[in-house]
Amino acid sequence: MIDIERIKEILPHRYPFLFVDKVLNYEKFKFIEAIKNVTYNEAYFQGHFPKKHIMPGVVIIEAMAQAGGILAFLSLEEEDNANRVVYFMSIENARFRKAVVPGDTLLMRVEIIKHKMKVWKMSGKCFVSDTLVAEATMSAKLD
């Protein structure tokens, strides 16, 4: 398990744009399981939507991407990771199946499909309880 303090050492993101609260499990170059506790106090709920709060799909995708970035950094374990950033390159086949709302715990499972040099391709799925709520294939560059 990796807590939020270690996550902040790995990722450059900070509030209100840090969307991984804890890493539950991972295996280098294979997969990561992480969670985001969705609370009423999330900044994006001020406008999405004021009377019916729903976590934006783009934020769900970003949360998966951040989990994937953590996996890439943990897989490489290079000493100069502090100066590196993961950049989104593409999102494919994004599907949103059910709304994510305050009180939900979003479980993200991201698997590495392949990586070559600085480019990583990953497949991500998000669950609330045992229900699939979103999925996508993402590519990113570790620079």
**106-120: per-residue pLDDT in tens?**
999 999 999 998 999
**What CATH number is associated with residue 100?**
3.10.129.10
Give the Cα separation of 110 and 19 in Å (integer).
14
48 classed as catalytic: yes
| 45, 67, 95, 131, 141 from 123: Cα distances, Å | 27, 11, 12, 17, 15
| Predicted TM-score (pTM) of this structure | 0.94
Structural domain count of the chain: 1
pLDDT in tens, 10-39: 999 999 999 999 999 999 999 999 999 999
Segments forming the whole domain that contains residue 64: 4-142
Distances (CA, A) of 23 to 5, 44, 66, 71, 96: 11, 23, 11, 10, 22
Which one of the listed residues 13, 48, 53, 115 is annotated catalytic? 48
